[in-house]
Amino acid sequence: MNQTTAIMFSHASMRVNSTPSTDQAARQPTRQATFIGAILAFVFIFLGLVGNILLITTILSVKKLRTNIINIFIVSLQFNDLLNIGFNQFFVGLSYANHAWLGGRLICHLVVYFSTVCMGCLLWHHCLIAIHRLIVVAYPNLLRRMSIKTYVIVSLVITRVLPIICCIPSFMKNSISNSTSTQALRCSISNNLQIYINVSILILLPNVIIIFCFLGIFCHVYRGSYSSRRTTKTSAVSVSHSLRREIRITKMFAVLFTLFFLGYHPYGFARAYGKRRQLHPDIFVLLTLLYCISICASPFVYGIMNNQLRQECMRVIFNCWHCQRIDDHNRYSRHRLNSAATRALTAVNDTGDDGQASSSRLSMRDLKSTAERKKNSKVVLFNNNHV
């Protein structure tokens, strides 16, 4: 009897001890999901980094692009995406590849802070662009009366400073959990005040402003197109052309905002709802991947929907490739020149005659000077000043 009771107690204690590990394994995403998520995340991270760097380089290198206000906002937005992709999403991809958080407690906290700041900057950049489009389309006289330099500086400072100010409660209190979440494989915010500030100021407020600005733009364009039908034919053509241009630009930013809206908000709400442990961990992997894709796809949206940016990007790529070919040709020419000089010195050393040696040295010097004159007189076929 005592042996039977002891065996029953031992089996019960084994079940109790194995239950936490089994539950913890059940709350983690499967290895198949994290493996596929890591591969796709790194592919899109690479494409996003290359696309953002190419877009920023193109706008800053072409004068007619960098003098446009909207392109300045685009460059600021893409720098924000570079930080988000190169730091936050990179460590998330590493955690999926390792099937556990890889980076330590400090990096885990920094990823949470940078994710909040980058998300707030991105949404407020979209809000800034929507307000700017509304001013340009509906109130062009207001933009003419403002100082453009002051307007750009104040707008960019607000989009950067406001998300940092909203993260002050996280710095003052320990708002981030010390242990990583088993579902998301990274740290999460545990302070309710910080969650309320993020949802209200960094998410809902800019979303509402963006939606109202886009509705105002499309209503103004619709009224303008309706009134242009009653005017003369010449003025109607000019008005309709400008309206089509404004609609095309506004559609591009509306697509970008919709892409981010569909990519981030399901992820954000799932993170908030997932604190109850009622969602499958593989859902977090899927939603995180959608969020990463929505951030990395923005340069390709610019290239598809903006003809000027697409043409200038292709020109920069061609010029870089052409410069590389010119460098390879010059390197090969210098190698041939050095080989010819080496052969001439070898011939001089083999003769042993001082008179012949001096004439060979003179001929070698003439050979070098002739090659230098040919190099300096080479006709430049392509203008590469803007690369």
Mapping DSSP to helix (H, G, I), strand (E, B) and coil, where does residue 176 land? strand
Beta bridge pairs of residue 189: 176
Is the CB of residue 87 less than 8 Å from the CB of residue 111?
yes
Count the helices and strands in the chain (H runs, E runs).
16, 0
Q: Which residues contact 166 (CB under 8 A, 6 or more apart)?
A: 116, 120, 197, 198, 201, 202
> What is the CB neighbour count within 10 angstroms for residue 302?
25
pLDDT of residue 309: 87
Q: Does the pTM of the predicted model rise above 0.85?
A: no
Average pLDDT over residues 228-251: 64
Percent of the chain with pLDDT over 90: 24
> What is the distance between the alpha carbons of residues 104 and 186, in angstroms, rounded to a whole number?
10
Cα→Cα distances 325→318, 328, 375, Å: 11, 5, 16
Q: What is the pLDDT of residue 162?
A: 92
CATH code of the region 29-305: 1.20.1070.10
Q: Yes or no: say if 122 and 73 are a contact pair by the CB < 8 Å rule.
A: no
201-to-120, 189, 209 alpha-carbon distances in Å: 8, 16, 11
The token pair that represents 55 in the structure block:
């877009």
Contact 228, 243 (CB under 8 A): yes
The encoded tokens of residue 181 equal 């979440």
Is the pLDDT assigned to residue 3 strictly greater than 60? Answer: no
Task: Among 23-27, 65-69, 127-131, 383-387, name the one with the lowest average pLDDT.
Answer: 383-387
If pLDDT is split at 50, 70 and 90, which confidence band does 281 have? confident
- pLDDT at position 47 is 93
> Which amino acid does the sequence have at 82?
L
189: helix, strand or coil: strand
Give the pLDDT confidence score for residue 347 in this predicted structure: 60
CA distance 387 to 41: 31
Measured CA to CA, the distance from residue 134 to residue 142 in angstroms comes to 11
The answer to whether residues 367 and 341 touch, using CB atoms and an 8 Å cutoff, is yes
Three-state DSSP at 386 gives coil
Q: How confident is the model at residue 23 (pLDDT cuts 50, 70, 90)?
A: very low
Hunting for tokens 């065996």 — which residue is that? 7
Tokens of 359: 């004439």
Distances in Å between the alpha carbon of 72 and those of 69, 127, 311? 5, 15, 18
Is the per-residue pLDDT at 17 higher than 60? no
| Cα 222 from Cα 244, distance rounded (Å) | 11
pLDDT in tens, 296-354: 988 888 888 888 888 888 888 888 877 766 766 667 677 667 776 677 666 655 555 44
Closest C-alpha among 224, 228, 212 to residue 134: 212
Query: Cα(76)–Cα(119) distance, rounded to whole angstroms?
Result: 14
